[in-house]
C-alpha cells in the first residue's frame, strides 16, 4: 500500500549559497519534497501538493536546456528518467516539463511535474510622455531628444508650490528620491527640477523640468513729474495723456522728466529714457513709449506748456426780460489743451467774493489757435467757425449773476493760478474759490468792466478781441451787439 506523501515546497536559493542538506529518510517513511528551485538563476518555485505540479519562473533569456535543480525532500531518493538526482549538481533540460520521481524508504513513490516558464524581458521604457502644471493650467513641451521639459505659467505665479500632472512609460518617478504622484505631489519649481523615471529593468532616465513665468505685459507710466520746480502734472491713464503746466518763462526745450513705470523700458523716438536724467524738448508734444517685458508697448503723449493763452473775450450776463441766453466767450491765442481749465463764476456781493459755480473745460480737449469758444445754453446760436460748449445744467435760465462786483475768472487747476479774470459792474479785489490756497484778486487793474444791460441788447466785450492790457476797465466796453463765436466790433 502507498504511503501518504509529504508536501513538496519550492524555495529560491542563490547560486552562491550552499544547497540545503537532505534529511535522512525515515524507515517506513513516505516519499515527499520540502523545497525546489534552481542554482542559477537563483529562483524559487511554488509547489501545488494537490496536483503535484512544481512551477518555476526564470528571468528572460535563461537557457532552460541545462539547469541544475536544488531541492530538499522527505523521500530517500529522487530520480528523473531513472537517473538519480543530486541537489545542486544534476542538470536537466527544462524546455519541456520534467517529471521528478520521489521514492520513500518504503519503496512508495510520487511524481512531481516541474514546469519552467521563461518570463518576458523586463521593460526598459522610461519616458515622460506628457507633462503639465495643474494650477494655473499650463501645458509643457517635452523634448525627448534633450530630455528637457519646459512650461510657462502666467506672470506673477508663485512657482514655489506647484503640482504637476504627467504620464510615463516607466514604473515610478522620483524627484530628489521622493516618489511622485501625478496630479498630487507638490514641488518647488522656482529652480529647474530633475524628474527621474525608472524602468522595469531598473534603468533610469532624468528629465530636467523648467517652469518659467511668462514675461509681464505691464506697460504703464505710474507717475510723472519734472525736475523743474513748480511744474504741475496730471496723468490721465485712460487716454494715456500727461499734461503739465510749467512756470511762465520755463525753457521747455530742455526738461528732465522723473517717472516710474511697470514696463521694462521707456523710450522717446527710439532712445531709452532714464528717469531724472534724460532731457527732452517739450516745446512740442512728446511721445513716451513704454515697453513691457513681452515686447508690447503703450504710448503716452506728454504735453507741457508754460502758459495758457486764453482770455475772456465777451460776456452776456443780463438780457432783456428773463436771462435765458447768457454766455461767456473765450478767445484762444494759440492751440490750447483745456485739461484742468475751469470757468469760475464769483459772487461779489459778499466779502470776500465767493465762488458760486464753475464750468470744467476739460471735455473740450485741445482747441485750435484763434478759436472763439462760447460757453452757453442751447438758445445761444454760435456760427461757424466758433466753438460752442453747453455744460450740463446750462439749459436752465439765470446761470450767471448780473453784478455789481461779480466776476468771471479762468482758473488753472493744474498750475493753481489765474489765467484771466474780469470783474464787471464794479471791482472785486478779494475772492475765494475752490482749490485756491489764498484770496485772489478777481479784477485786473483799478477798475472793472462795465455793467451789462437788461433794457438794451448787448454784451460786455473786449475791444479789440483778444487784446489784454491787464486793465478790465480799459479792455472792455458795453457793445450794443452780440457776437458769440466771432470777433467783437
Residue 126, C-beta contacts closer than 8 angstroms, at least 6 positions apart: 168, 169, 170, 197, 198, 199, 203, 204, 205
In contact, 78 and 103? CB cutoff 8 Å: yes
Q: What percent of the chain stands above pLDDT 90?
A: 87
What CA–CA distance (Å, rounded) separates 73 from 54?
Answer: 13
Average pLDDT estimate for 247-262:
95
| Residue that the C-alpha cell 458760486 belongs to | 356
Q: What is the mean pLDDT of residues 473-487?
A: 97
Residues with Cβ within 8 Å of residue 314, at least 6 apart in sequence: 327, 328, 329, 459, 460, 461, 462, 483, 484, 488
Please name every residue paired with 126 in a beta bridge, in sequence order, or none if there are none: none
SS3 474: helix
Strand partners, 70: 37
DSSP-assigned beta bridge partners for residue 99:
113
Q: Are 262 and 216 in contact (CB under 8 A)?
A: yes
pLDDT at 415: 86
**The model's pTM:** 0.64
CB 317, CB 484: distance < 8 Å: no
Which of the pair, 12 or 479, is modelled with greater confidence?
Answer: 479
What percentage of residues in the chain have a pLDDT greater than 70? 93
Q: Which residue has the higher pLDDT, 337 or 24?
A: 337
pLDDT band at 127 (very low <50, low <70, confident <90, very high): very high
- pLDDT higher for 53 or 35? 53
Express the helix, strand and coil content of the chain in percent, nearest 5 each: 0, 45, 55
Q: What is the pLDDT of residue 395?
A: 82
Average pLDDT over residues 329-354: 95
Please tell me the predicted confidence (pLDDT) of residue 397.
84
What pLDDT score does 437 carry?
76
Average pLDDT over every residue of 116-130: 96
Question: How far is 5 from 31, CA to CA, in rounded Å?
Answer: 5
Question: What's the distance, CA 160 to chain centroid?
Answer: 17
- Phi (first) and psi of residue 417, to 5 degrees: -145, 155
The string over 189-200, giving b where at least 16 C-beta atoms fall within 10 Å of a residue's C-beta and e elsewhere, is beeebebbbbbe
Average pLDDT over residues 222-228: 96
Domains in the chain (CATH in brackets) are: 35-118 (2.60.40.2340), 128-213 (2.60.40.2340), 221-305 (2.60.40.2340), 310-479 (2.60.40)
Segment holding 473, helix H or strand E: helix 472-475
Between 139 and 414, name the one with better pLDDT. Answer: 139
Closest CA relative to residue 398, chosen from 319, 484, 481:
319
* Statement: residue 359 has pLDDT above 90: yes
Average pLDDT in the chain: 91
- What is the 3-class SS of 44-110, one letter each residue? ECEEECCCCEEEEEECCCCCCCCEEEEEECCCCEEEECCEECCCCCCEECCCCCEEEEEECCCCCEE
Q: What confidence score (pLDDT) does residue 10 get?
A: 30
CB neighbours (10 Å) of residue 269? 10
pLDDT for residue 240: 97
Query: How many angstroms separate the CA atoms of 340 and 2, rounded?
Result: 119
pLDDT value of residue 396 = 81
Burial 323-349 (b: 16+ CB within 10 A, else e): bebbbbbbbbbeebbbbbbbbbbbbbe
Average pLDDT on 194-207 reads 97
**Could you report the per-residue pLDDT of 455-465, keeping only the tens digit for each?**
999 999 999 99
Confidence of residue 28 (pLDDT cuts 50, 70, 90): very low
Segment 68-82 mean pLDDT: 95
pLDDT tens digits along 282-327: 999 999 999 999 999 999 999 999 889 999 999 999 999 999 999 9
Cα→Cα distances 250→255, 341, 393, Å: 9, 20, 38
How does DSSP classify residue 216?
Answer: P
Residue 25 has pLDDT above 80, yes or no: no
pLDDT at 34: 65
Predicted confidence at residue 303, as pLDDT, reads 93
Lowest mean per-residue pLDDT among 26-30, 177-181, 326-330, 392-396 = 26-30
Q: Residue 308's closest CA among 287, 330, 329, 279?
A: 330
Amino acid at each position: 500500500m502507498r504511503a501518504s506523501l509529504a508536501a513538496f515546497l519550492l524555495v529560491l536559493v542563490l547560486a552562491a549559497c550552499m544547497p540545503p542538506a537532505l534529511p535522512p529518510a525515515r524507515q517506513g517513511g513516505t516519499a515527499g519534497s520540502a523545497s525546489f528551485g534552481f542554482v542559477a538563476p537563483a529562483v524559487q518555485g511554488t509547489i501545488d501538493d494537490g496536483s503535484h505540479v512544481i512551477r518555476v519562473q526564470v528571468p528572460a533569456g535563461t537557457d532552460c536546456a541545462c539547469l541544475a535543480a536544488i531541492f530538499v525532500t522527505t523521500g530517500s531518493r529522487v530520480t528523473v528518467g531513472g537517473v538519480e538526482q543530486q541537489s545542486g549538481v544534476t542538470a536537466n533540460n527544462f524546455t519541456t516539463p520534467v517529471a521528478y520521481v520521489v521514492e520513500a524508504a518504503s519503496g512508495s513513490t510520487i511524481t512531481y511535474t516541474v514546469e519552467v516558464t521563461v518570463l518576458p524581458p523586463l521593460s526598459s521604457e522610461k519616458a515622460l510622455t506628457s507633462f503639465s502644471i495643474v494650477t494655473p493650467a499650463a501645458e509643457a513641451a517635452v523634448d525627448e531628444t534633450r530630455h528637457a521639459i519646459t512650461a510657462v505659467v502666467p506672470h506673477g505665479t508663485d512657482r514655489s508650490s506647484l503640482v504637476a500632472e504627467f504620464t510615463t512609460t516607466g514604473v515610478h518617478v522620483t524627484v530628489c528620491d521622493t516618489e511622485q504622484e501625478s496630479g498630487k505631489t507638490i514641488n518647488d519649481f522656482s529652480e529647474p527640477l530633475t524628474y527621474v523615471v525608472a524602468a522595469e529593468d531598473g534603468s533610469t532616465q532624468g528629465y530636467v523640468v523648467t517652469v518659467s513665468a511668462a514675461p509681464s505685459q505691464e506697460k504703464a507710466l505710474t507717475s510723472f513729474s519734472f525736475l523743474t520746480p513748480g511744474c504741475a502734472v496730471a496723468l490721465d491713464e485712460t487716454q494715456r495723456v500727461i499734461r503739465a503746466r510749467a512756470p511762465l518763462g520755463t525753457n521747455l526745450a530742455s526738461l528732465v522728466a522723473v517717472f516710474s513705470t511697470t514696463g521694462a523700458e521707456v523710450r522717446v523716438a527710439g532712445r531709452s529714457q532714464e528717469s531724472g536724467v534724460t532731457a527732452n524738448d517739450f516745446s512740442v508734444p512728446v511721445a513716451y513709449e513704454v515697453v513691457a517685458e513681452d515686447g508690447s508697448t503703450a504710448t503716452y503723449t506728454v504735453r507741457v506748456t508754460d502758459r495758457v493763452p486764453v482770455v475772456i473775450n465777451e460776456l452776456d450776463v443780463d438780457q432783456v426780460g428773463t436771462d435765458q441766453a447768457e454766455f461767456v466767450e473765450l478767445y484762444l491765442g494759440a492751440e490750447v489743451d483745456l485739461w484742468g481749465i475751469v470757468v469760475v463764476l464769483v459772487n461779489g456781493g459778499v466779502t470776500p467774493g465767493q465762488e458760486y459755480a464753475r464750468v470744467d473745460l476739460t471735455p473740450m480737449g485741445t482747441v485750435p489757435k484763434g478759436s472763439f469758444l462760447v460757453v452757453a445754453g442751447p438758445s445761444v446760436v454760435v456760427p461757424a467757425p466758433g466753438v460752442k460748449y453747453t455744460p450740463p445744467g446750462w439749459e436752465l435760465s439765470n446761470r450767471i449773476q448780473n453784478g455789481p462786483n461779480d466776476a468771471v475768472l479762468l482758473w488753472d487747476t493744474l498750475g493753481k493760478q489765474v489765467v484771466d479774470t474780469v470783474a464787471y459792474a464794479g471791482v472785486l479785489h478779494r475772492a475765494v474759490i475752490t482749490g485756491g490756497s489764498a484770496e485772489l484778486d478777481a479784477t485786473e487793474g483799478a477798475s472793472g468792466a462795465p455793467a451789462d444791460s437788461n433794457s438794451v441788447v448787448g454784451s460786455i466785450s473786449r475791444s479789440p478781441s483778444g487784446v489784454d492790457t491787464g486793465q478790465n476797465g480799459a479792455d472792455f466796453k458795453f457793445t450794443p451787439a452780440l457776437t458769440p463765436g466771432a470777433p467783437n466790433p
